[in-house]
Structure 1
Amino acid sequence: MPPKAADKRRQGQGGPSGGKAGKAGKSKKKDEDDFPEAREDGSTARAAVRSPDQLELTEAELKQEIIRTLTADNPHVPQDIIRFNFKERAYMLVDDMDHTAVHFTLNGYLIHKDSDEGRRQSIRSSTEAEETPAEDEEAPVEAAAEPTEEGETKDEEPTEEAEAEEEGEGEGEGEGEGEGEGGGEGEHEAETAEAAEEEPHPEKVPERKLKNQFNFIERGSTTFHYPLREKGLQTDPLPFGTFSENVNQWNEFLYCGFGLLFDSDSKLWFIYDSYMEELDRMEKAKEKEKAKPVAVKKEDQKTGRKLSVVEIPHVDSLSMVARAAKIAERMVNLNTYDDIAQDFKYFEDASDEYRGQNGTLLPLWKFQYEKTKKLAVTALSWNPKYKDLFAVGYGSYDFMKQGHGMLLLYTLKNPSFPEYSFSTESGVMCLDFQGDHPHLLVVGLYDGNVAVYNLKRASPEPSYKSSAKSGKHTEPVWQVKWQKDDMDGNRNFFSVSSDGRIVSWTLIKSELVHMDVIKLSADETTMQGPEGLQLQTLGSGISFDFHKKIDYLFLVGTEEGKIYKCSKNYSNQFLDVFEAHHMAVDTVSWNPFHVKVFISCSSDWTVKIWDHTIKTPLFVYDLATAVGDVAWSPYSSTVFAAVTIDGQAHVFDLNINKLEPLCSQLVVTQKKNKTTHVQFNPADPVIIVGDERGLITCLKLSPNLRKKPKEKKGQEVKKGPEEEIAKMEKLLSLVRQPGKKEEQ
């Protein structure tokens, strides 16, 4: 038997038994150390060890069951986190906090073989293995051939050893068959180990490492720099000469195509006026050419002669029948609203005889346009020539809801649709008709611009409009008023704005020329400027009105509640200041008959009547809510109307009742709607009232609201302005304090 096999057999016989005995001895020793010695009765003695700070509990406390529930909630997570909820638009408690506690994190570099990246790397490695050269494939074949020869020699050698082993095994079996199973197992293990040594091991294919996908190399390169070169040229200066000449409009000029004019001496001239005249002449000539009928030559097929046929230029069919269609529409509306038209013309409320002094307002037409339902009525004005025509401005008093505006003109003959319609980029805040030229209408816009519309033109754009260059206001324009033409015959108007400027605008040719008349200064209000400078703040103008008889005199109501009496001749100071109201003065208006009386209203619930020579008001009326507008009647010096934001219209006649209104009537029926403006018709006994929903209501005054003085026997009743002045003067004499009366 070879020595290796004998050693293995000995290991198989004695190895396992020896190992078990050793382990048994160790375990026995350990048990003896861990457990104390046994007593005589078989029990073991154990020593109880207690901690010095252990609690001493009673039997009942020891037997008590304490239940503890384990949850996944983190006790250290805050429970009072407040965050803004954009859906609810409020700060709310956050109840879904993250309770995950991370104790350890490790980023791995392994990639799953089924993932996209794993498939790409496996495909890349297989393609690289296929692309290896053929020489690398032949080398392993030759290396594998050599081990086969060595294996054959090794196979031959163990055959002799195996025969000797078989003989030894036969002898061993004959000598003693009583050997244990351990010997047989040892022989089997030795045989398997020798067979494993004899068999050749297959060669392992070397693993190919994956390339690092994030490896990169920085490379730098330099480029060739071209040398700088300088090149200079020298030229001769151009010849120049000096020319000067006096120009006047009496020279004889000849017009050329580029607007350049030459005189008899062939000198170059350019006159703007002549240029504009020539352009107008050319435009008129073009219009005449378009209007002329065009002669077209046609050939007669039968005779072969050429015939000249005059073709009439194409004209829009609607424009030809526009006037007829408008008249027909008015006739249809008269039939539709015939009962209202009859009430407007003939109805007189007979029940006024039983009401004493009180009167009523009879609703007539209602004017509303589909495009203005979401806009408020911001201005009303009757046309001075056509008594049935009035203009309405639409915008918004809420500075958070500013948008486009509209300008509409209605007539009492057609309440269903406006006669004229103009759209503006900004809301219309005020408007006014020109007295001598009723086709001109000026409007003030919320963005600070003023514009003049010409109703004779068919264009939807204004004829004149201010801009930043022409001195527009920086804040909304609250009121505009036409004034008499200046010395040169140019039309002009005035405007007041929240920026504290009162501006005079003049229409010169095709542009607006502005001039600041006065700047409102807030008293005792200064701002600290840079380097310690004291800057004076400007007041905020809301309303103004010019005197009916004295051209230079006008009143200005401010947002601070003051009324300034100003003059066009003084631009740096005021004639007088009235501490009128506690809030903004929404309207201030001179009496159309009496030269000293004016009226004002405010959001502080009051309407006040003043004499401009007295600092205190003559009459004060508290209407229990904010007053939107007030207006004098054109037929009586003692009658005026006011509207409040609760939707009511109030009509006063100081000659009949100095304390209370003769009529207080609800005009607006919808909830959350406010009346904004009121105006008297200059000829008929009707008023128009506008509200925040874009609705205009026409109301007729009952007989008690327009009473005339009774005729006495043997005396002629005076009529006209003189009688109205006498009525107002009589009232003023009753309320004036002694010593305050002024001469007329």
Structure 2
Amino acid sequence: MLTATNPAAAKNIARFNMKERCYKFEPMVEQTMVHYATDGWLLHKANDEAKKQIDMEKLQEDALMKFQAEMDRAVSEKKDEGVETEPPDDSRQLRNQFNFSDRAAQTFNNPMRERATFTEPPPTSAMAGSVSQWEIYDQYIQDIERQKVQEEINKAKAAAKKGGAVPSQAPKPSAEEEDENKDTSNTIQGPEMSRAAHVLERMVNQNTFDELSMDFKYWDDATDALREAEGTLLPLWKFSNEMTRRRHVTSLCWNPRHLDMFAVGYGSYDFLKPSSGLICIYSMKNASYPEYTFTTDSGVLSVDFNPERDNLLAVGCYDGSVLVFDVSKKINKPVYQSTIKNGKRSDPVWQVSWQPDESSKLPQFYSVSSDGHVDLWTVTKAELMHEEVLSLRMVPRAGDGEAGGEARAGSLARGCCFDFSKANAFIYLVGTEEGRIHECSKAYSSEYLNTFDGHGMPIYSVKWNYIHTKMFLTASADWSVKLWNSTSPEKNVMAFDLGSPVGDVAWAPYSSTVFAAVTDEGKVHVYNLFRNKHEAMCEQKIIKKGRLTKLEFNPRHPIVIVGDDRGCVTCLKLSPNLRMTSQPEKGQNFEEMEVQKLDKVIEVALKSVVGGEGGEKI
């Protein structure tokens, strides 16, 4: 990047470091500037060109001597004949004759100038006074009277709060006493000082993380041009503080309006050691400390922002309660909280999700609990209303037998996660602890639309595709991520073995074939099925010790945030190969093109089925 101050010196020269195997900015810049340059006319005596010039000069001297001798002889012959002749003109220049001229150049030197800064001294005023015994006595008397008046005012206020009669003969303070007793906010702790300190904190953080901010805006891995089927993740900010230590990141959610802000829920997956919950709302503009913090009595398992009212945050807790916080009020208490009277569950609430209802203008959100119930919560002005939507009954398996089938049919399945369809707001999927996925509808509270049986262990995450509304992904503790088609529940389309329990999976919002998953080994796997449906384009370890628990794509920027079991959230930027999208043809819609891309991948995968169970195993 060149500037007008010094056009010859670049500011952001990056060189490849062979030791660290990455590009780094070069802090030292060559500052040499050429103001004037010219070629010299001197030659070295031992040079061939100089020797040729000396020989040529000798030939010229010999020719000049011969010419002078002939002229002298001709003049003498003319004199003998009596003819007067004019002397020869010696002023004409001979060829290659060296003429020396002294030339000099002098540049203009600017005069030295002094520059100084002067400040006006603070205003001063002279004060003088005398102190005597009677003046001190008068001040003590005034202070005693002021204390009596203040006591009477406090008694009147206490009586008014209790509902008693206010004494009519209470002495009225003077104007000066009213000014002194008036509750004025402290300047240091006032809102104006808080706003100014907030701006200064943002400025300090911007200067501290200037390199990360530049990487967030301009970093592109140049090695992606040499490898089409691979990509990398660049770690940017790490969000953590003292309050989040020894806590697990249990949920992540981006704010729908402010896309640089996200909420993090902290709890504990070690259920033998339950802990209190914590909610931190971070901004990428300030990675050192959260913008807002809220504490809960029980561990937080899920958080979700309202898409229409971005100040409302729904929270599901380990003790079975659901909470609603108003972020704009900055109060460390929920504005709504479920109790035993209005539907509080006895088992943990694993996930909450806001869903708008056209018939009701009130905010509504759903929750799924491990006690086998899906509930609807409606936020009114006075209270939080509860309604049971679905009871997750167990479906008998093929090899259970009659006794086992009857036992399963009479019990409830433990719900672990759910997700609503992007095309139809009535359809949603529920993942259970037994490894099954049930497709349900809001209109039916007792029957499933479809049941997908493909995992042998609990399902931790289920996600619909943003563009192809019939496809969805599931992540399970059985080390696998599976791709399903909602129209064919008999078998999965594709299966991916990641070699470790999968904590979370998420589709990329910019492509129908890109998704990412996190595992207990601390790795992030990014797949692009259109480029390579057999191997991940990126498999990168983020933390040395520990496991990754949650993952979430940003709706606009090419970044992804991941949380671990040590209370840290890491922001990662995708390289160009991981965020590359195809351009639609003329007359073709972008969504149609993405749907066709995924359909082609599914068609190829179904043709290469391995065995008779499920889809293609990778």
TM-score (norm 2): 0.66
Uncovered stretches (5+) of structure 2, i.e. residues with no partner: 1-171, 609-618
Residue 154 of structure 1 corresponds to which residue in structure 2?
Answer: none
Structure 2: distance between partners of 1:417 and 1:309: 39
Structure 1: distance between partners of 2:263 and 2:179: 48
Structure 2: distance between partners of 1:722 and 1:324: 49
For residue 456 of structure 1, give the secondary structure of its aligned residue in structure 2.
helix
Structure 1: distance between partners of 2:175 and 2:456: 83
**Structure 1 vs Structure 2: percent identity of aligned residues?**
45
Structure 1: distance between partners of 2:338 and 2:262: 24
Task: Tell me if 1:603 matches 2:453.
Answer: no
Structure 1: distance between partners of 2:216 and 2:178: 60
Structure 2: distance between partners of 1:731 and 1:717: 23
After superposition, the Cα gap between the structure-2 partners of 1:554 and 1:737, relative to the gap in structure 1 and judged at 3 Å, is farther
| 2:322 counterpart (441, 446, 450) | 450
Structure 2: distance between partners of 1:368 and 1:457: 23
For residue 271 of structure 2, give the secondary structure of its aligned residue in structure 1.
coil
Residue 652 of structure 1 corresponds to which residue in structure 2?
Answer: 527
Task: Tell me if 1:675 matches 2:548.
Answer: yes
- AA paired with 1:500? G
Task: Tell me if 1:337 matches 2:209.
Answer: yes
After superposition, the Cα gap between the structure-2 partners of 1:309 and 1:588, relative to the gap in structure 1 and judged at 3 Å, is closer
For residue 363 of structure 1, give the secondary structure of its aligned residue in structure 2.
strand
TM-score (norm 1): 0.55
Tell me how far 1:719 sits from its aligned partner: 6.1
For residue 734 of structure 1, give the secondary structure of its aligned residue in structure 2.
helix
Structure 1: distance between partners of 2:289 and 2:316: 24
Task: Tell me if 1:698 matches 2:574.
Answer: no
Task: Tell me if 1:376 matches 2:248.
Answer: yes
Q: Is the 8 A contact 2:292 2:330 kept in 1?
A: no
Residue 297 of structure 1 corresponds to which residue in structure 2?
Answer: 174
For residue 344 of structure 1, give the secondary structure of its aligned residue in structure 2.
helix
After superposition, the Cα gap between the structure-2 partners of 1:328 and 1:580, relative to the gap in structure 1 and judged at 3 Å, is same
| 1:708 counterpart (581, 586, 594) | 581
Indicate the larger mover: 516-525 or 608-617: 516-525
After superposition, the Cα gap between the structure-2 partners of 1:577 and 1:332, relative to the gap in structure 1 and judged at 3 Å, is same
Tell me how far 1:513 sits from its aligned partner: 1.0
Q: Is the 8 A contact 1:296 1:310 kept in 2?
A: no
> Deviation per CA, 1:506-532, whole angstroms, max 9, x where unpaired?
112221111111101112499x9xxx9
| 1:624 counterpart (499, 503, 518) | 499
Q: Is the 8 A contact 2:463 2:474 kept in 1?
A: yes
How many aligned residue pairs are there? Answer: 430
Residue 665 of structure 1 corresponds to which residue in structure 2?
Answer: 540
After superposition, the Cα gap between the structure-2 partners of 1:515 and 1:308, relative to the gap in structure 1 and judged at 3 Å, is closer
Q: Note the 1:262-661 alignment, pairs <5 A.
A: 297-298=174-175, 313-317=183-187, 318=189, 319-485=191-357, 487-524=359-396, 536-615=410-489, 616-661=491-536
Q: Is the 8 A contact 1:395 1:405 kept in 2?
A: yes
> Deviation per CA, 1:428-465, whole angstroms, max 9, x where unpaired?
00111100011110010000000000011131100111
Q: Note the 1:172-211 alignment, pairs <5 A.
A: none
| 1:689 counterpart (562, 567, 575) | 562
After superposition, the Cα gap between the structure-2 partners of 1:591 and 1:312, relative to the gap in structure 1 and judged at 3 Å, is same
Q: Is the 8 A contact 1:446 1:475 kept in 2?
A: yes
Q: Is the 8 A contact 2:395 2:409 kept in 1?
A: no
Q: Is the 8 A contact 1:709 1:717 kept in 2?
A: no
- Max Rg structure: 1
Tell me how far 1:617 sits from its aligned partner: 0.9
For residue 438 of structure 1, give the secondary structure of its aligned residue in structure 2.
coil
Tell me how far 1:325 sits from its aligned partner: 1.4
Residue 36 of structure 2 corresponds to which residue in structure 1?
Answer: none
- AA paired with 1:482? W
- AA paired with 1:657? N
Tell me how far 1:533 sits from its aligned partner: 11
- AA paired with 2:412? L
- AA paired with 1:415? A
Residue 81 of structure 2 corresponds to which residue in structure 1?
Answer: none
- AA paired with 2:538? C
- AA paired with 1:700? K
Structure 2: distance between partners of 1:322 and 1:514: 39
Q: Is the 8 A contact 2:394 2:409 kept in 1?
A: no
Residue 614 of structure 2 corresponds to which residue in structure 1?
Answer: none
**Aligned-residue CA RMSD (Å):** 2.6
- AA paired with 1:487? S
Structure 2: distance between partners of 1:297 and 1:414: 49
After superposition, the Cα gap between the structure-2 partners of 1:474 and 1:392, relative to the gap in structure 1 and judged at 3 Å, is same
Residue 600 of structure 2 corresponds to which residue in structure 1?
Answer: 730
Tell me how far 1:405 sits from its aligned partner: 1.1
After superposition, the Cα gap between the structure-2 partners of 1:621 and 1:534, relative to the gap in structure 1 and judged at 3 Å, is closer
Q: Is the 8 A contact 1:544 1:588 kept in 2?
A: yes
After superposition, the Cα gap between the structure-2 partners of 1:358 and 1:412, relative to the gap in structure 1 and judged at 3 Å, is same
Uncovered stretches (5+) of structure 1, i.e. residues with no partner: 1-294, 300-306, 739-744
Structure 2: distance between partners of 1:717 and 1:630: 33
Tell me how far 1:537 sits from its aligned partner: 1.1
For residue 729 of structure 1, give the secondary structure of its aligned residue in structure 2.
helix
Structure 1: distance between partners of 2:434 and 2:363: 32
Q: Is the 8 A contact 2:275 2:298 kept in 1?
A: yes
Q: Is the 8 A contact 2:559 2:573 kept in 1?
A: yes
> Deviation per CA, 1:156-205, whole angstroms, max 9, x where unpaired?
xxxxxxxxxxxxxxxxxxxxxxxxxxxxxxxxxxxxxxxxxxxxxxxxxx
Tell me how far 1:324 sits from its aligned partner: 2.0
For residue 641 of structure 1, give the secondary structure of its aligned residue in structure 2.
strand
Structure 2: distance between partners of 1:351 and 1:633: 22
- AA paired with 1:682? P
Tell me how far 1:723 sits from its aligned partner: 2.7
